[in-house]
């Protein structure tokens, strides 16, 4: 006899089972009926069915179909399909028949089969059992069968879920602290950024029972470019003109701005000062580093109070978004992103995975609500923003707040900007009342002196859209210790060495055995090659110990053959020099401009030798 065929022989449809029941009744058998889902069969089911079978001679099980269980239990149930459940039950020796039903209750089955005994678990009351009246009216009995406590399919499913979550909570991966690359094992060298010894192990969870973060029911749909209307998207113009400049004309609603800088340089002061200056926009300042009383002390020092600035001290993104939902701010400030943590990731605040996930939640919030978000970011020992490099790619704008803490001036520089120039510059002066905007940086970058000094040259440079005059100081002296020293502050040392080589090879100045020190005053860093001519002239001035004219400035790039090359936006440079009272400016003869627009004397030269003859 085939055991497999014997299993299927116990599964009936209603017509066949009705005939089978009539035969059993004629033979004097006592028919017992019970029903249930029996999703995940366990010991409690077996004990209950065995006790039920003892109430008669033949046991019939009414089994809920998959569709019926979905209606009763909801989505995700049943775990085991109806065919498999029927086969499992039919394997029990004390089970005689199984019939599937798709209705919510087995009332139709009971009315048709008319069993002698209707049995249910002990957690029911006879009056609540479906079909009890029909059985009793037909002379049958309704019985309650005791069951074992602590056994149920729902409990088993919950245990499985908890076991899976427990395993996920101990999952870990290795992340590169420089670029955020993930690896299942530790690597000495990152394959993406090629940095050494940057991989750190972090715990992670891919799913969470209560996922934290910003939740939205909005579904985005594709639109034609021509159909997208942005006419209502106006920038938020702040009272801080320097901040407006580096952001490209104001704050873009829905943008994410990352502000980085050295510890104590004034990042928190800058954004708190901006938040307190708002007269119409509602700003929420979230701090994970200071208490509300500490922030209040700083606000008193700044001497600003605002009815539109709210302070929240919190590090959990879940709690932050709850407060945001109630307050509905126009601008959100986070101080700092390295202190935030989300319940979605099981690792410490400041880790690569936490920074990336928290930033992703804030990006989603900013883009869907149109709220501008400012993030303050720490920097590492190399001067780069701490955390994965992908953080800078995720945000819209990256600002760098730099300067020497021993000096009063601070530079706010644009590193990346999706909505404007990435080469803008803002200048502030740090005083006891906070940060003061410097509308004319040239005044602070040029030293005031009563008489000319050798080794000093003035360069006309461009930072973003702003022309600036900077002072370049050089010191050339004989090398005492054999190998000459080359040092530059605020200027590329390799480019300075190239200019020194040009002076020696093309112009005959013997500087190879001399120490050369170069400094750009004010703590500013200049990448503009248009200051090459001023650098060369200041070096020659120090070498010859002949002072340059205090009212002469320079704008020109030096080529390897000693030629003076043209630079861009020369008219802006000339206009700035004329506005600040300079009498003459030396530029390349290859620059084209309209000299009639200026009253300053413009000297055009093609070679360094020509400049040297005119100056010395």
**C-alpha to C-alpha distance for 603 and 584, rounded to whole angstroms:** 7
Collapsed DSSP state (helix, strand, coil) of residue 162: helix
Residue 179 has pLDDT above 60, yes or no: yes
Joined together, the tokens standing for residue 112 give: 């048709």
Query: Nearest CA to 253 among 232, 229, 274?
Result: 232
Query: Are the beta carbons of 468 and 442 closer than 8 angstroms?
Result: yes
State which of 73-77, 306-310, 501-505 shows the largest mean pLDDT: 501-505
Query: Are the beta carbons of 325 and 175 closer than 8 angstroms?
Result: no
Residue 572 has pLDDT above 70, yes or no: yes
The predicted structure's pLDDT at residue 488: 95
**C-alpha to C-alpha distance for 204 and 6, rounded to whole angstroms:** 50
What is the average per-residue pLDDT within 454-470? 90
Residue 325 has pLDDT above 80, yes or no: yes
**C-alpha to C-alpha distance for 414 and 363, rounded to whole angstroms:** 20
- Supply the pTM of this predicted model: 0.62
Q: How many CB atoms lie within 10 A of CB 55?
A: 18
Query: Nearest CA to 588 among 560, 612, 563, 613?
Result: 563
The predicted structure's pLDDT at residue 210: 45
User: How large a percentage of the chain has pLDDT more than 70?
Assistant: 92
The predicted structure's pLDDT at residue 209: 45
**C-alpha to C-alpha distance for 407 and 409, rounded to whole angstroms:** 6
Q: How many CB atoms lie within 10 A of CB 195?
A: 16
> What region, left, alpha or beta, does residue 446 occupy, with left being phi > 0 and alpha being psi -120 to 50 degrees?
beta
CA distances from 68 to 11, 49, 73, 89, 133 (A): 18, 21, 9, 18, 23
What is the average per-residue pLDDT within 198-211? 64
Residue 35 has pLDDT above 50, yes or no: yes
In DSSP terms, which residues pair with 520 in a beta bridge?
472
What is the average per-residue pLDDT within 580-606? 91
Residue 585 has pLDDT above 50, yes or no: yes
User: How large a percentage of the chain has pLDDT more than 90?
Assistant: 49
**C-alpha to C-alpha distance for 285 and 435, rounded to whole angstroms:** 18
| Residue partners of 34: CB distance under 8 A and separation at least 6 | 49, 52, 59, 60, 61, 62, 118, 119, 120, 145
Owner of token pair 């149109």: 370
What is the average per-residue pLDDT within 442-448? 75
Residue 483 has pLDDT above 60, yes or no: yes
Quickly state the pLDDT bin for 122 (edges 50, 70, 90). confident
What is the average per-residue pLDDT within 584-597? 91
Residue 180 has pLDDT above 60, yes or no: yes
Quickly state the pLDDT bin for 323 (edges 50, 70, 90). very high
CA angle 177, 181, 186 (to 5 degrees): 75
Quickly state the pLDDT bin for 98 (edges 50, 70, 90). very high
Residue 473 has pLDDT above 80, yes or no: yes
**pLDDT mean across residues, the chain:** 87
CA distances from 392 to 66, 427, 502 (A): 50, 23, 38
Residue 559 has pLDDT above 70, yes or no: yes
Strands 466-478 and 141-145 come out as unpaired
Segment 152-170, tens digit of pLDDT: 777 888 888 777 766 555 5
| Residue partners of 193: CB distance under 8 A and separation at least 6 | 176, 178, 179, 181, 389
């Amino acid at each position: 006899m085939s055991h497999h065929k014997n299993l299927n022989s116990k599964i009936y449809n209603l017509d066949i089972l009705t005939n089978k029941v009539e035969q059993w009744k004629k033979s004097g058998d006592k028919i017992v009926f019970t029903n249930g889902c029996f999703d995940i069969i366990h010991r409690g089911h077996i004990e209950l069915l065995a006790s039920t079978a003892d109430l008669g001679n033949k046991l019939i099980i009414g089994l809920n179909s998959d569709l019926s269980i979905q209606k009763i239990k909801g989505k995700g149930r049943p775990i085991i399909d109806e065919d498999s459940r029927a086969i499992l039950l039919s394997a029990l020796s004390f089970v005689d028949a199984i019939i599937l039903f798709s209705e919510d209750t087995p009332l139709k089955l009971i009315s048709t089969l008319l069993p002698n005994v209707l049995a249910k678990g002990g957690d029911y009351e006879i009056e609540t059992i479906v079909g009890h009246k029909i059985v009793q009216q037909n002379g049958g009995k309704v019985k309650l069968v005791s069951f074992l406590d602590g056994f149920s399919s729902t409990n088993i499913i919950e245990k499985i879920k908890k076991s899976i979550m427990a395993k996920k909570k101990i999952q870990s991966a290795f992340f590169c602290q420089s670029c955020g690359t993930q690896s299942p094992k530790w690597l000495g060298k990152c394959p993406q950024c090629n940095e050494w010894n940057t991989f750190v192990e972090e715990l992670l969870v891919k799913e969470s029972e209560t996922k934290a973060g910003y939740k939205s029911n909005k579904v985005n749909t594709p639109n034609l470019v021509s159909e997208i209307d942005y006419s209502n998207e106006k920038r938020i113009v702040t009272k801080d003109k320097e901040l407006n400049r580096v952001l490209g004309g104001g704050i873009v609603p829905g943008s994410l701005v990352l502000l980085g800088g050295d510890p104590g340089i004034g990042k928190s002061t800058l954004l708190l000062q901006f938040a307190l200056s708002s007269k119409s926009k509602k700003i929420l300042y979230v701090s994970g580093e200071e208490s509300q009383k500490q922030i209040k002390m700083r606000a008193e020092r700044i001497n600003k109070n605002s009815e539109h600035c709210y302070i929240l001290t919190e590090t959990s993104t879940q709690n932050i978004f709850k407060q945001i939902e109630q307050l509905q701010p126009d601008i959100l400030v986070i101080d700092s992103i390295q202190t935030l943590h989300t319940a979605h990731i099981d690792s410490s605040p400041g880790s690569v995975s936490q920074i990336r996930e928290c930033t992703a939640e804030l990006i989603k919030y900013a883009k869907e609500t149109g709220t501008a978000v400012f993030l303050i970011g720490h920097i590492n020992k190399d001067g780069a923003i701490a955390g994965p490099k992908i953080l800078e790619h995720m945000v819209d704008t990256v600002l760098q707040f730099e300067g020497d803490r021993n000096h009063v001036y601070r530079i706010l520089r644009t590193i990346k900007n999706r909505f404007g120039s990435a080469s803008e510059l803002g200048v502030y002066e740090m005083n006891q009342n906070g940060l003061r905007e410097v509308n004319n940086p040239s005044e602070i970058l040029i030293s005031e002196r009563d008489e000319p000094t050798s080794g000093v040259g003035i360069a006309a440079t461009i930072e973003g859209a702003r022309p600036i005059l900077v002072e370049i100081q050089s010191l050339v002296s004989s090398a005492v210790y054999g190998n000459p020293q080359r040092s530059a502050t605020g200027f590329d040392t390799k480019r300075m060495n190239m200019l020194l080589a040009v002076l020696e090879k093309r112009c005959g100045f013997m500087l190879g055995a001399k120490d050369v020190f170069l400094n750009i005053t004010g703590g500013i860093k200049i990448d503009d090659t248009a200051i090459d001519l001023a650098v060369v002239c200041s070096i020659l001035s120090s070498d010859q110990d002949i002072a340059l004219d205090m009212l002469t400035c320079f704008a020109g790039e030096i080529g390897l053959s000693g030629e003076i090359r043209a630079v861009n936006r020369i008219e802006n440079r000339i206009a700035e020099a004329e506005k600040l009272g300079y009498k003459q400016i030396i530029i390349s003869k290859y620059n084209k401009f309209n000299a009639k627009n200026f009253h300053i004397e413009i000297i055009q030269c093609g070679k360094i030798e020509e400049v040297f003859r005119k100056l010395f």
